[in-house]
Amino acid sequence: MQWTSVGEELVGYVVDGARVVRADSLTGFAGYVRRARVVTALPGNGWTVSYRMDDGCVEKREVVAWLVYDDGTVVGHDADEDGLVYPSCEAVNFSHLAKV
């Protein structure tokens, strides 16, 4: 994200090369929400995440990485059976994290 000298937020937009325009001048611009940025990743180190399935069973997966964000939060991530990685605690059926 870039800012003008008076603190207005800008968004990159490409027209005839790279140029920067005010975010609120773009049609359909609804607002800006700052998301924390990942600053490092740490290994899962034996942690598991458990999910409560619809049939009442518990599914356990290994935490593959802990992502550390610039706002100080640390979030465990696990991979599904297709190898796609997700933040563990954001799933609707999240149950708990545990150290094995």
Q: What is the pLDDT of residues 7-59, one digit of tens each?
A: 766 666 545 556 677 777 777 877 777 788 999 999 999 999 999 999 999 99
CA 69 to chain centre: 9
Tell me the whole-structure pTM to 2 decimals: 0.66
| Residues comprising the chain, all counted | 100
Q: Which pLDDT score, from 0 to 100, does residue 76 have?
A: 95
Query: Would the pLDDT of 1 be above 70?
Result: no
Within 10 Å of residue 59's Cβ, how many Cβ atoms?
13
Q: Which distant-in-sequence residues (6+ apart) come within 8 Å of 43 by Cβ?
A: 64, 65, 66
- Compute the C-alpha angle 58/60/63, nearest 5°: 150
What pLDDT score does 14 carry?
A: 45
Asked if 51 and 43 count as a contact pair (C-beta separation under 8 A), the reply is: no
User: Measured between alpha carbons, how far is 69 from 62 in angstroms, rounded to an integer?
Assistant: 20
- For residue 28, the model assigns a pLDDT of 80
Dihedral angle sign, alpha carbons of residues 70, 65, 59, 84:
positive
